[in-house]
Structure 1
């Protein structure tokens, strides 16, 4: 289990607003805010965004159900994210893999995924 993840962002204010909106459906909220970074926290662990040059990568947040994946995607698009895969099943990963993908303001490929059948 990952305790926390830290990513570099070029515009801390813009990225904070993006992640506040995008992560709310997944149960995250701002835990710590400092001049050089912001920590979003949930029972699943922490995401830090820090002022620095981004490194292109992909990361995924676990969602409890399909509705949370859908809400994540809608929040990301509303916050200025770019579609990189609308919510849906990805059976090439496994039969219950339901996910959505967006590109954040720094070009990160961010995913929300539910591994359970829809209730």
Structure 2
């Protein structure tokens, strides 16, 4: 799906989002709340360092639903594993988070998924 201007404005207004992924083993829908970030002109899902079930689900089943207050968007997740790309994106995200800890810890242990719309 291509994101409309209206949907993009809605996404800009909402940092806390919910996503529904498909369970990697169960195949069942799994809905959770998470934060979206904006860096390099694109939208991302990540979290503080640690294991995330939603990330494992996106690796197994890249298509998921991004739930905003007034709409649901079918999107695709692109896992970012390239060290240089991770450094660029986290270099924009992490410094703005006062609670985040070190950039190095995020690079070493945080999932990073680009939200793709088309």
TM-score (norm 1): 0.31
Greater fraction of residues in helix: 2
Question: Larger relative contact order (C-alpha < 8 A, sep ≥ 6)?
Answer: 2
